[in-house]
Amino acid sequence: MEWGQSLSALAFKELKLEEIRGAGTWKSERVISSRQGPHLRLAGGGAGIINFCANNYLGLSSHPEVIRAAVEALEKFGAGLSSVRFICGTQSIHKDLEEKIARFHQREDAILYASCFDANAGIFEALLTPEDAVLSDELNHASIIDGIRLCKANKYRYKHMDMQDLEAKLKEAQKHRLRLVATDGAFSMDGDIAPLREICQLAQKYDALVFIDECHATGFLGPNGRGTDELLGVMDKVTIINSTLGKALGGAAGGYTTGPKPLIDLLRQRSRPYLFSNSLPPAVVGCASKALDLLMESNAIAQSMAAKTQRFRSKMTAAGFTISGKDHPICPVMLGDARLASVMAEDMLSRGIYVIGFSYPVVPKGKARIRVQISAVHSDEDIDRCVEAFTQVGRKHGALP
Q: Is 216 a catalytic residue?
A: yes
What is the distance between the alpha carbons of residues 389 and 94, in angstroms, rounded to a whole number?
44
Show contacts with ligand PLP in window 174-193 (CB under 6 A): 184, 188
Residue number, 246 or 394, with CB nearest to ligand PLP: 246
Q: How far is the CB of 104 from ligand PLP (least distance, A)?
A: 16
Residue number, 188 or 359, with CB nearest to ligand PLP: 188
Helix, strand, coil shares of the chain as percentages rounded to 5? 45, 20, 35
Catalytic annotation, pick one of 115, 188, 342, 359: 188
Long-range CB pairs of 387-394, under 8 A, 24+ apart, other chains included: 387/312, 387/315, 387/316, 387/319, 389/348, 389/351, 389/352, 389/353, 390/316, 390/319, 390/321, 390/333, 390/348, 390/353, 391/319, 392/351, 393/344, 393/347, 393/348, 393/351, 394/319, 394/320, 394/321, 394/344
What is the distance between the alpha carbons of residues 23 and 203, in angstroms, rounded to a whole number?
41
What is the distance between the alpha carbons of residues 187 and 141, in angstroms, rounded to a whole number?
8
Q: Is 367 a catalytic residue?
A: no
What is residue 128's three-state secondary structure?
coil
Neighbour tally for 382: CB within 10 Å = 19
Question: What is the number of the residue whose Cβ is closest to ligand PLP?
Answer: 115
Catalytic annotation, pick one of 105, 216, 290, 328: 216
Q: How far is the CB of 19 from ligand PLP (least distance, A)?
A: 24
What is residue 241's three-state secondary structure?
strand
Residue number, 259 or 394, with CB nearest to ligand PLP: 259
What is the distance between the alpha carbons of residues 349 and 342, in angstroms, rounded to a whole number?
11
The residues with which 133 forms a beta bridge, in sequence order, are 154, 179
The residue range among 131-139, 199-207, 208-216, 256-264 that interacts with ligand PLP, by the rule CB under 6 A, is 208-216
Binding mask 226-255 for ligand PLP (x = CB under 6 A): ------------------x-x--------x
Q: How far is the CB of 275 from ligand PLP (least distance, A)?
A: 18
The residue range among 39-47, 212-220, 298-306, 347-355 that interacts with ligand PLP, by the rule CB under 6 A, is 212-220
Residue number, 190 or 382, with CB nearest to ligand PLP: 190
Give the residue, chosen from 98, 213, 229, 230, that forms a contact with ligand PLP under the rule CB under 6 A: 213
Binding of residue 256 to ligand PLP (CB under 6 A): no
The residue range among 211-219, 281-289, 342-350, 358-366 that interacts with ligand PLP, by the rule CB under 6 A, is 211-219
The residue range among 56-64, 213-221, 229-237, 325-333 that interacts with ligand PLP, by the rule CB under 6 A, is 213-221
Q: How far is the CB of 228 from ligand PLP (least distance, A)?
A: 11
12: Cα separation from own chain's centroid: 33
Question: Could you give the dihedral angle defined by the CA atoms of residues 121, 123, 126 and 132, in that order, rounded to the nearest 10 degrees?
Answer: -110
Binding mask 95-124 for ligand PLP (x = CB under 6 A): --------------------xxx--x----
Give the residue, chosen from 56, 61, 91, 143, that forms a contact with ligand PLP under the rule CB under 6 A: 143
Q: How many residues bind ligand PLP (CB under 6 A)?
A: 14
What is the distance between the alpha carbons of residues 379 and 50, in angstroms, rounded to a whole number?
10
| H or E element that contains 89 | none
Residue number, 244 or 279, with CB nearest to ligand PLP: 244
Residues in the chain: 401
Contacts of 363 (CB under 8 A, 6+ apart): 189, 369
Q: State the catalytic residues.
A: 188, 216, 247
Residues lying near ligand PLP in the complex (CB under 6 A)? 115-117, 120, 141, 143, 184, 188, 213, 215-216, 244, 246, 255
